[in-house]
Amino acid sequence: MQLYHHPYSLESQKVRLALEERNIDYTSYHVNPVTGKNMDPSFFRMNPTAKLPVFQNGSHVLFNTIEIIQYIERIALVSSGSGVITQSSKEVVEWMYKIQEWNPKFFTLSHIPEKYYIYTSKFLRRVIIARMSEAPDLATAYHSKLKEAYETEEKLHNPQVLQRSEQHLIKLLDEVETQLEETEYLAGNEFTLADVMLVPVLARLALLGLEEAYISCRPKLAEYWTLVQQRPSYKKVIKKYFGGWKRRKTLLKTWCIVRMRCMLKRY
Ligand SMILES: N[C@@H](CCC(=O)N[C@@H](CS)C(=O)NCC(=O)O)C(=O)O
């Protein structure tokens, strides 16, 4: 089994947490979306939306986060045999869909300093154009990606889009807080795949420096956040890249690559 993913990608984090929690072995391929690696023709041919993650098991290729996680769950169920692991309950699945409904894209981009966002998005557009000339048979798909990039920039200037995204997040976190008043974890007193979906959302808020504004102000959520950060899966998938000083190192490395390639005009 192969997973094409990147530590920056929130959707990838969800899938990697599920793989770690269920103890499934896989071959990992890093595809950095900020340096435009997801635009390479080899990856683009497999997934013309260029989105991460992609999970491959033989000829079976999955792109949808929930489908991948449910597939991982089935593999874990089969390999556990004796029934140590049980299938996700209706509550777990409902939470998974509820969390997946919130798209972090505009919220995240609107909290990145504008100069970094503008520089990187210009770089990515150039990468798309360069890849398009390398693989003219994929021109239509690359064109769609270019269009998407312009639309994203336009939407980022629309206060309504940003407001809707924030309101959606607040509603989700309020529902989570109400649930955590009843149970230790999201769907009961055990960590489940619903929690696997939520942890990267909280990690994203922390990464953007918004822990106070969205997590700490909700007492149960704050307790939960402290608890889930103790898990080995969290340490391996998120803390390894973004914990403490590592955050700076991880972000700086990508920023240097982007700057260098811009300076050398190597798209
Ligand atoms: N496949 C996911 C969504 C994947 C997704 O949005 N991935 C983002 C990263 S978290 C991505 O790859 N963005 C890069 C791009 O759009 O070029 C789903 O289930 O809807």
Cα–ligand 1 centroid distance for 52 (angstroms): 5
CB-based contact 132:138 (threshold 8 Å): yes
Residue 161 CA, ligand 1 centroid: distance in Å: 18
CA distance 207 to 250: 12
Output the CA 183–ligand 1 centroid distance in Å.
Answer: 31
What integer pLDDT is reported at residue 127 of this predicted model?
Answer: 98
User: Tens digits of per-residue pLDDT, 29-47?
Assistant: 999 999 999 999 999 999 9
Residue 148 CA: which ligand 1 atom is closest?
Answer: 16
CA 71, CA 263: separation in Å to the nearest integer? 43
- Would you state the pLDDT for residue 80? 83
Please state the rounded mean pLDDT for residues 256-265. 97
Name the band, by pLDDT with cuts 50, 70 and 90, for residue 84: low
Query: Residues lining ligand 1, judged by CB closer than 6 Å?
Result: 9-11, 33, 38, 50-52, 63-65
- Please give the structure tokens belonging to residue 205: 């808020």
Distance 81 CA to ligand 1 centre (A): 33
Question: Mean per-residue pLDDT for 68-82?
Answer: 90
How many Å from the N-terminal Cα to the C-terminal Cα in the chain?
30
| Best probe residue, ligand 1, of 4, 10, 11 (max atoms within 8 Å of C-beta) | 11
CA of 105 to the centre of ligand 1 (A): 9
For residue 63, report the distance from its CA to the centre of ligand 1, in Å: 9
Cα(109)–Cα(152) distance, integer angstroms: 9
Considering only CA atoms, which of 255, 193, 266, 184 is closest in space to residue 226?
184
Residue nearest to atom 20 of ligand 1 (CA): 64
Give the pLDDT of residue 41: 97
Give the ligand 1 atom nearest the CA of 103: 6
Other Cβ atoms closer than 10 A to 69: 24
Q: Using CA positions, which residue lies closest to atom 16 of ligand 1?
A: 51
Facing residues of 68 across strands? none
Distance of CA 199 to the CA centre of its chain: 11
Q: What angle do CA 238, 244, 246 make, to 5 degrees?
A: 65
- For residues 50-75, average pLDDT: 97
Which domains does the chain possess? Answer: 2-263 (1.20.1050.130)
Confidence of residue 213 (pLDDT cuts 50, 70, 90): very high
**How much is the pLDDT for 140?**
96
